[in-house]
Amino acid sequence: MRGLRKIEPYIPGDQPKFSKMIKINTNENAYPPSPKVKEALLNFDASQLRLYSSLDNYNLTSALGKRLKVDSDWITTANGSDDILALAFQSFFNSSDPIIFPDLTYGFYSVWCELFNIPYLELPLNDQFEFDFDKIPEKIGGIVLANPNAPTGLYKPVDQIEQILKKYHDVVVIVDEAYIEFGGQSMLPLLSKYDNLYITRTFSKDAALAGLRVGYGIGNPKLTGVIQAIKNSYNPYAVDSISEALAIAATEDYEYYQKINGEIAKTRDWFIIELNKLGFNTLPSLTNFVLTTHPQQSAEAIFNHLKKHQVFVRFFPNKERISNYLRISIGTKKEMTTVIDLLKAFMAENNGGTK
Ligand SMILES: Cc1ncc(COP(=O)(O)O)c(C=O)c1O
């Protein structure tokens, strides 16, 4: 057959279905969404579904605007942050100069570049997995930074990213804040100062609504205008009315989310200490996951041991630099205690090292 497109897609983490598993492989939230979300779902008037959802999700952008102290006109909603990021790539990266992101970051960035024919350069993170901004060339088409980064979990302080916004003021810098609510500081206050800043966020992680598929982008009206023109060129009603109602309920219960995400941060910090007591080297993390490796044991053997006990973590055998690492999402304290107990048993069985 002629004319068929060839593309290597992004490979998401597995979604295994076992009733008693501990699923800590795709950075979903450990806790259920706010009870207000359930209430909104039960109270949703099904007769409303006859109508299309609102074109601009005004009620949701207003709720978000109020919460984030941003003008609602600066916010665009989409079907998960994957959708808003894909729109942003198409909207902002139309130069023949390469866009820049680290070699170890969210795997979808390079997939979108291939899909949309955007030239790109993956700059190697240093041995500590830090992004050295001095290595960015002069002539570029834009920058994409996940902050904190995935899968490393490392966070860059706002003032360092601000230097990039200043230096590369004539191209758009996308800051993907999928994990920002787990401890980092948002770039939001800099939006009015830098017209080349575009921030993306999601309800999938901190709002415990990965299954709802709602994400959003925030940028000045000029950037937002381009994003909306692209969005309205193929899927104007990306967020359906049920999702909008539920996302509003989540946005309005920030108190609940501060509580559960604070718990996750506490469990994460405890988990890192426990891992390191077992001899792991774990990167500092300001997210709801950690990236860890053991100098004597192979990641694959640990992965298989955990899987045998229905604990699913993420292992990247094909990513050379982290092929001996595991990325472990933070579950509840009880789940993470089980994980530590399983790792202790593994270490006891494999004292001589399996690597
Ligand atoms: C850094 C980063 N950005 C964006 C996303 C996409 O999230 P979603 O499409 O669920 O909003 C993910 C998901 O894992 C992520 O890790």
Domain boundaries of the chain, sorted by first residue? 22-31+255-349, 35-252
Q: Alpha helices of 124-177 — where are they, by DSSP H?
A: 158-167
Residues 6+ apart with CB under 8 A from 345: none
Q: Are 80 and 26 contacting, i.e. CB atoms less than 8 angstroms apart?
A: no
Gap from CA of 270 to ligand 1 centroid (Å): 25
Q: What are phi and psi of 225, to 5 degrees?
A: -60, -40
Which pLDDT band holds residue 351 (cuts at 50, 70, 90)?
confident
- Ligand 1 nearest-atom number relative to CA 26: 14
Fold observed for domain 22-31+255-349: Aspartate Aminotransferase, domain 1 (3.90.1150)
Residues with CB under 6 A from ligand 1: 27, 80-82, 106, 146, 150, 176, 178, 202, 204, 210, 215
Say what the pTM is.
Answer: 0.96
CA dihedral 57, 9, 129, 318 (to 10 degrees): 150
Summarised one tens digit per residue, pLDDT across range 249-294 is: 999 999 999 999 999 999 999 999 999 999 999 999 999 999 999 9
Tell me whether domains 22-31+255-349 and 35-252 share a fold: no
Which H helix or E strand runs over 176? Answer: strand 173-176
pLDDT of residue 352: 54
What mean pLDDT, rounded, does the chain reach? 96
pLDDT, tens digit, for every residue of 125-159?
999 999 999 999 999 999 999 999 999 999 999 99
191-219 mean pLDDT? 98
Residue 210 CA to ligand 1 center (angstroms) comes to 9
Q: Which residue's entry shows tokens 């001996």?
A: 324
Q: 35-252: which CATH architecture?
A: 3-Layer(aba) Sandwich (3.40)
Q: What is the pLDDT of residue 8?
A: 87
Q: How far is the CA of 29 from the centre of ligand 1 (A)?
A: 12
Nearest atom, ligand 1, residue 83 CA: 9
Cis (ω within 30 of 0) for the bond into 124? no
pLDDT of 108 over the 70 cut? yes
pLDDT (mean) for 185-206: 98
Average pLDDT rounded to a whole number, residues 327-346: 98
User: 132 φ, ψ to 5°?
Assistant: -90, 105
pLDDT given at position 91? 98
Residue 150 CA, ligand 1 centroid: distance in Å: 9
Average pLDDT over residues 29-44: 98
Percentage above 90 pLDDT, the chain: 92
